[in-house]
Amino acid sequence: MKKISLTAISIFVIFLVSCSKNDGVIKGSPKPPNTAMSGTFYIDDINGNDNNDGKSSGSPWKTITKVNEQIFAPGSQILFKAGGVWNGKMLQFKGSGTSGSPIIIAKYGEGKLPQFNAAGIFKAAIYLYNQQYIEIKEVEVTNYNPQEEGGISLQAWEAKNISDYAAVTTPPQAVKNNSFKFGIYVEAKDTGAVKHIYLQKVLVHGVNGAINQDNEDTKDNGGVAFVVTGSGKKTWFEDILIEECTIRDVDRTGLYTSSSWGTRTLTSNSNWTPTTNLIIRNNIFKKSGANALIVRVSDTPLIERNLFDSCAIKGSGNAAFCFNTDNATFQYNEARFTKANVDDRDAGGLDSDYRTKNTFIQYNWLHDNDFGMLVTGGGGVFNDNTVVRYNIIERDGLLPHPDHGKFIFKVSGAATNTKIYNNTVYIAPSQSATALIRHANWTVWPSTTNYSNNIFYNEGSGSIVNTGSSTGNSYSNNMVVVNNVAISNNVAAGTTSFVNINAGPNGYKLKTGSAALAAGISIPNNGGKDYFNASLPSASPNIGAYEGPGL
Per-residue pLDDT tens digits for 450-477:
999 999 999 999 999 999 999 999 999 9
Residue pLDDT tens, the chain, 551 long: 333 333 333 333 333 333 333 333 323 334 455 789 999 999 999 999 999 999 999 999 999 999 999 999 999 999 999 999 999 999 999 999 999 999 999 999 999 999 999 999 999 999 999 999 999 999 999 999 999 999 999 999 999 999 999 999 999 999 999 999 999 999 999 999 999 999 999 999 999 999 998 899 999 999 999 999 999 999 999 999 999 999 999 999 999 999 999 999 999 999 999 999 999 999 999 999 999 999 999 999 999 999 999 999 999 999 999 999 999 999 999 999 999 999 999 999 999 999 999 999 999 999 999 999 999 998 899 999 999 999 999 999 999 999 999 999 999 999 999 999 999 999 999 999 999 999 999 999 999 999 999 999 999 999 999 999 999 999 999 999 999 998 988 898 888 889 999 999 999 999 999 999 999 999 999 999 999 999 999 999 999 999 999 99
Strand partners, 104: 77, 135
Contact 531, 537 (CB under 8 A): no
pLDDT by residue (tens digit) across 135-184? Answer: 999 999 999 999 999 999 999 999 999 999 999 999 999 999 999 999 99
Nearest partner of 479 among 451, 497, 453, judged by Cα: 453
The span from the CA of 404 to the CA of 440, in Å, is 8
CB atoms within 10 A of CB 147: 9
Q: Which residues contact 343 (CB under 8 A, 6 or more apart)?
A: 173, 402
For residues 214, 219, 221, 225, the Cα torsion angle rounded to the nearest 10 degrees is -170
- Which residues on adjacent β-strands are paired with residue 331? 304, 362
